[in-house]
Amino acid sequence: MGNINRRTIVIALIFISIGISFVIKLFILQVYDPSYKFSAESNTRREIINYPARGLVYDRNGKLIVSNQADYDLMVIPRELKTMDSITFCNALEITMPELRSLFSDMKNKLRRRKISAIKPSIFYKQLSAKQYGYLQEKLYKFDGFFVQRRTLRKYEYPHAAHILGYVGEVGTQDIKRDDYYITGDYHGINGIESTYEKFLRGEKGYKYVLVDVHGREKGAFQDGKFDIPAIAGKDITLTIDIDLQKYGEQLMGNKIGAIVAIEPSSGEILTMVSSPNYNPSLLVGKKRAGNFSTLSTDSLKPLFNRPIMAWYPPGSTFKPLNGLIGLQENIIKPHSKVECHMGYTVGRFHQGCHYHYSPLDLRRSIANSCNAYYSHTFRGIIDNRKYGSVQEGFEVWKNYLVNFGFGYKLGVDFANENRGFVPNAKYYDKYYKKSWSSLTVVSLAIGQGELLTTPLQMANMTAAIGNNGFFYTPHIIRGIENDTIPSNFTTIHKTGIDEQHFAPIKDGMEMAVWSDEGTAAIARIPDLNISGKTGTAENPHGEDHSVFIAFAPKENPKIAISVYVENGGFGSRWAAPIASLMVEKYLNKDIHPTRKWTEKRMLEGDLIHGKE
Amino acid sequence: MAKNSLIKSIDWITVATYLILVIFGWFNIYAANYNPENPVFFDTSKEYSKQLIWIGLSIVIIWVIFMTDSKFYVTFSYFLYGLSVFLLFTVIFIGKEINGAKSWFEIGPVRFQPVELAKVATALTLARLMSRYGFTFNKRKNLLTIMVVWLTPVLCILLQNDTGSALVFFILILPFYREGLSGKILVFGLIAALVSVLTLIYPNAIILALIITGTFIFLAFNVNLKIIGTGITAGALGFALSLAVFYILGKEFRWDIFTITGAIFLTTHLAIKGFSKRLKVILPAMIFMWGAFSFTISSDYFVEKVLSDYQRNRVNVLLGFKDDPLGAGYNVNQSKIAIGSGGLTGKGYLQGTQTKFNFVPEQSTDFIFCTVGEEWGYFGTFGVVVLFVFLMIRIILLAEKQHSVFSRIYGYCVASIFFFHFTINIGMTIGLAPVIGIPLPFFSYGGSSLWGFTTLLFIFLKLDTNRSELIR
């Protein structure tokens, strides 16, 4: 480039000289002169989160069940840490030097794995006691990089309803990914209503921004607090449960495995939902949560398992009223139709046993006596009905009634982990029996055995639908949300597809089961209270049968519908029926009649777990 | 022209430099918008998302430029110039005011700054005028035409109260110099610009020293070096003498007084030499020097002592200084802290703390260089400075290869405009230049400026594809 013009060189030199002076100045600024690197004027903005109090939880009578308690976390900003007097620090926290060392190495590990940030606050030591907090607050100025953050923990006013309430715990990585409201260290509802109504209960976090210099000293509000957002407290919610009834139910189920579900038929509100064995919800609060949780989760009796909505049981004889209703609706039987039964149902070489009772029986008395033959006959009549052409078609008709009653699918109760139970369909049997099956093959479904599986909640719901003469509302636990309405699916009516007039004989039969001399549930009689019910004994291949009972009361316009399961309790009348009747009596009469005190005592003291009755 | 040969004749080195700058710029805009307390990977409402769209549209613009015949830019230069002057003028009345300057058109969601078009059009028009056969700055008529074409947009832009953008046009003195404007005018112009700018950032002593240096450079072109050498000796003597006096009397040092004493010695010496050797050039040089001295001292005195705070602020705004509500130098200080805190290697990408939350003002536009400094350290800033210098020199060297004078002049205009933005923008973030709000090419957030710079550069690269042809 020998022919380059002199002026080009001058211009190029101007460019280069500016470039060089920048490079020199930048070198001085960034490398040579350290004063800017650690400039005292170097600011950072620190975000201080104001955690709102979670919403309170009340029962249906306005009794406070869940509230909050103050709690303090020691926070750290790793980058701002300085050398410090670790002995004073240990004393303040009441920990030993090795413990402190492990806390620090924990923090370093998390930093390395990028779980926490060096420039943002994260929790160093959770849930200081009031004493620790008081002591530390005074000394805190000595420890650069540390500060205390206030937040709230749950406080349970009753040691009951743990499965309903769920618990609150720290969010996990997945939760943060799913909802960017959360950051590491935040709490959220993990189970029960704490989880279902998290959005209402949590409120809105508030933020305060302060300026901090390189020494971690606060220098006042950032831009006059222009960006500060006040915290909004969570909304209070009211549950449908009656905490006193819940408590009574848990006491009755003490030392027994099983479930109680009670529903108000006219609204679908769940009055009580007992899962036994249970635990004190306060065990899962704060620091002791992790330890207690692992103890509970390894317990062989599975106290964390929410039986009312998760356990699958065969319904047993409690299922007979429904088969009766379908028979009536399908015009297979009339209320006065009689079926012969001589110790069972016999077709050719097939025999299904029954206990001894008068024969023949009509519909009402068949319920009172819990006759197997009556329902085998009726069931076969439904699926072998000529008008449906094949057993498959007939079976689907029968199955659809069950689905209409809320079986086989999740009911949609306000708990995340509800199970759907199991209702087989024709395809299932086609596959299982390679298409060669008849009504007789599956006749055990008539008496609530066989492949059919239902949850206690579904059974209580069926009972409510019977009590209502053919409709139900989706069972739910939420009664009210502060300044808000409950989800609309809880206020929509569901029809069962059974005409209203068919319910009278069935209800008569259930009344007779309790009140007639030949009835199976005389133990459930409550003086001056018209309770109707049906016993069931669910076959259990693993041990003693489960004791089952469903009931509603009063007979007209029932206020309560209930299902009770006592695992390995034997006959329905032995454990489930007395427990259910005591629950009903307690709810409607508030007190247990003196004549029934001995029944109550026997139930409260009965121990099926440790083998004492 | 066949497509293949077009691709072959594009200067891919320049294109690569452009792409590196744009992409690196985008990453820094992302960092400046990144909130470490709520790390969202991609938020479509944030500036970086929009910038991605602007970059995408730039590629469309580049394609259109390459598809257009080079002759178009010659033929339509006057038209484009007329259009841009018209827009610059109308924006004064119907424009939208942003940051005190009424320089934006707003049509629905689209905002457009006509000054970006004006830069391109003025460069094209000047190139066309100066490439006419027989053009020389010695013809008064030519000079007048150039002055009118040059200063009309400047006037309009000043009326929009967008001083920073108006100043950009003055850098076109570089292409003028290349095309034959006297070197004295260049030196004079540069010194005048330096002095007027530096008066407001540096203590008087340094400015006075700069004036003396400027005078020497001027003399060096005109008198023999021996006189200059003795002059420097005389000046140094005066400086040392006055310093000694202050030292002995135990008074606080006044560097400006020492400098002036030195200057008096120098002037006396030169005056004697000039008189005895009949050197005509000494007199104007000395008049210039003392004129500049008195200008410096009096302007400083005037601004500091005579004007009220409010008026002073107005003067600063008029001079193109940004409104500085938090006190003098706050912004520059924050910016220097941010860059300085990066150290040699930087804090790491997205790890910056000073270039978040607006500690540094306009952190994704005018002060985007701070993010580079904080997160990439000296390695980053050094790289960016080198890339810019490389790009500018690459452009003028390419310009020199043009057969067509039009292309050459246009190339110089492009390099000079980049140079001005580069100098002022980076200069202000490190405290070497006053705070004038003009963007760093390809880096700063904003569609208008990105498209403006892209258009400027790629019209030149298009012209360059026809470098061996005569474009008229």
Shortest Cα–Cα distance, B173 to chain A (Å): 11
Nearest to B336 among A8, A15, A29 (CB): A29
C-alpha span between A226 and A212 (Å, rounded) = 16
In this prediction, residue B328 carries a pLDDT of 45
Angle at B304 between CA B303 and CA B307, to 5 degrees: 60
- B3-42 pLDDT, tens digit each: 677 888 899 999 999 999 999 999 999 988 887 666 667 7
* C-beta atoms of B396 and A8 within 8 A: yes
What number of other Cβ atoms are within 10 A of residue A559's Cβ?
15
Residue A612 is given by DSSP the state: B
- Domain ranges for chain A: 1-37, 46-239, 243-280+303-605
Q: Can you point out the beta strands (E) in A512-590?
A: 532-538, 546-553, 560-566
Q: Bridge-partner residues for A339, per DSSP?
A: A361
* C-beta atoms of A26 and B430 within 8 A: yes
Cα–Cα distance list, B55 to A315, A539, B17, B24, B52 (Å): 67, 72, 15, 12, 5
Cα–Cα distance list, B444 to A181, A413, A531, B152, B330 (Å): 31, 55, 80, 27, 21
CA-based diameter of chain B, in Å?
Answer: 81
In this prediction, residue B198 carries a pLDDT of 59
- B335-372 pLDDT, tens digit each: 888 888 888 988 888 877 777 666 676 788 888 999 99
- Residue B346: both structure tokens together: 């930087």
What number of other Cβ atoms are within 10 A of residue A528's Cβ?
8
pLDDT at B306 over 60: no
What number of other Cβ atoms are within 10 A of residue B7's Cβ?
11
Residues from A contacting B (CB-CB < 8 Å) are: 1, 4-5, 7-8, 10-12, 14-16, 18-19, 21-23, 25-27, 29-31, 33, 35-37, 39, 41-45, 47, 117, 119-120, 180, 183, 222
Contact of A502 with A325, CB cutoff 8 Å: yes
Cis peptide before A360 (omega within 30 of 0): yes
* Spatial CB neighbours of A574, under 8 Å, sequence gap ≥ 6: A547
Characterize A306-322 residue by residue with b for buried, 16 or more Cβ atoms within 10 angstroms of its Cβ, and e for exposed: bbbbbbebbbbbbbbbb
B287-293 mean pLDDT: 81
Residues of chain A positioned with their CB less than 8 A from the CB of B400 = 4-5, 8
* C-beta atoms of A11 and B412 within 8 A: yes
* C-beta atoms of A30 and B359 within 8 A: no
CA atoms within 13 A on the CB side of B5: 6
Residue B285 C-alpha from the chain's centroid: 27
- Residue A52: both structure tokens together: 């709102």
* C-beta atoms of A19 and B38 within 8 A: no
Our separate counts of H helices and E strands in chain A read 20, 20
- Residue A19: both structure tokens together: 């470039």
- Residue B133: both structure tokens together: 């056969």
In this prediction, residue B107 carries a pLDDT of 79
Q: Bridge-partner residues for A58, per DSSP?
A: A64, A238
Helix (H) or strand (E) holding B436: none
Share of residues in chain B with pLDDT > 70 (%): 86
- B83-95 pLDDT, tens digit each: 999 999 999 888 8
In this prediction, residue B159 carries a pLDDT of 84
Cis peptide before B114 (omega within 30 of 0): no
In this prediction, residue A40 carries a pLDDT of 47
pLDDT at B240 over 60: yes
Q: Bridge-partner residues for A218, per DSSP?
A: A212
Residue B190 is given by DSSP the state: H
Nearest to B389 among A15, A119, A183 (CB): A15
Contact of A370 with A509, CB cutoff 8 Å: no
ipTM of this predicted complex? 0.81
C-alpha span between A152 and A156 (Å, rounded) = 13
Residue B321 is given by DSSP the state: P
In this prediction, residue A397 carries a pLDDT of 94
In this prediction, residue B320 carries a pLDDT of 46
* pLDDT band (50, 70, 90) for residue B322: very low
In this prediction, residue B203 carries a pLDDT of 60
CA atoms within 13 A on the CB side of A304: 16
CATH code of domain A46-239: 3.90.1310.10
Contact of A299 with A276, CB cutoff 8 Å: no
Closest CA to A12 of B21, B184, B399, B461: B399
- Domain ranges for chain B: 3-200+319-465, 204-316
C-alpha span between B272 and A338 (Å, rounded) = 145
Residue B453 vs residue B237, higher pLDDT:
B453
Q: Bridge-partner residues for A221, per DSSP?
A: A210
* Domain range A243-280+303-605, CATH class: alpha beta
Residue A161 vs residue B251, higher pLDDT:
A161
Nearest to A31 among B36, B334, B344 (CB): B344
* Spatial CB neighbours of A147, under 8 Å, sequence gap ≥ 6: A74, A75, A121, A140
Shortest Cα–Cα distance, B411 to chain A (Å): 12
Nearest to A15 among B178, B339, B419 (CB): B419
3-state class (DSSP) for residue A70: strand
Contact of B435 with B428, CB cutoff 8 Å: yes
C-alpha span between A240 and A242 (Å, rounded) = 7
Shortest Cα–Cα distance, A181 to chain B (Å): 9
In this prediction, residue B408 carries a pLDDT of 94
SS3 content of chain B, % helix, strand, coil (to 5): 70, 5, 30
In this prediction, residue A108 carries a pLDDT of 87
In this prediction, residue B433 carries a pLDDT of 78
Residue in B closest to A43 by C-alpha: B354
CB pairs under 8 A between A and B: 115
* C-beta atoms of A180 and B38 within 8 A: yes
* C-beta atoms of A180 and B40 within 8 A: yes
Nearest to B339 among A29, A35, A183 (CB): A29
Which of B191, B206, B357 is the best residue to mutate to test the A interface, defined by the most A CB atoms within 10 Å of its own CB?
B357
Cis peptide before A554 (omega within 30 of 0): yes
Residues of chain A with pLDDT under 70: 1-3, 35-45, 119, 212-219, 223, 611-613
In this prediction, residue B405 carries a pLDDT of 92
pLDDT at B43 over 50: yes
Helix (H) or strand (E) holding A102: helix A97-112
B106-131 mean pLDDT: 89
| Residues shown for chain A | 613
Contact of A241 with A161, CB cutoff 8 Å: yes
- B400-423 pLDDT, tens digit each: 999 999 999 999 999 999 999 999
B426-454 mean pLDDT: 88
**Sign of dihedral through CA atoms A5, A7, A13, A19?**
negative
Contact of A529 with A554, CB cutoff 8 Å: yes
What number of other Cβ atoms are within 10 A of residue B251's Cβ?
10
Residues of chain A positioned with their CB less than 8 A from the CB of B388 = 19
3-state class (DSSP) for residue A248: helix
- Residue B1: both structure tokens together: 């022209």
* C-beta atoms of A29 and B340 within 8 A: yes
Radius of gyration (C-alpha) of chain B in whole angstroms: 25
- Residue A33: both structure tokens together: 């002169």
In this prediction, residue B347 carries a pLDDT of 82
Contact of A71 with A153, CB cutoff 8 Å: yes
In this prediction, residue A216 carries a pLDDT of 59
Angle at B4 between CA B2 and CA B10, to 5 degrees: 105
B451-458 mean pLDDT: 96
* pLDDT band (50, 70, 90) for residue B325: very low
SS3 content of chain A, % helix, strand, coil (to 5): 40, 20, 40
Average pLDDT value over all residues in chain B: 83
C-alpha span between B61 and B456 (Å, rounded) = 11
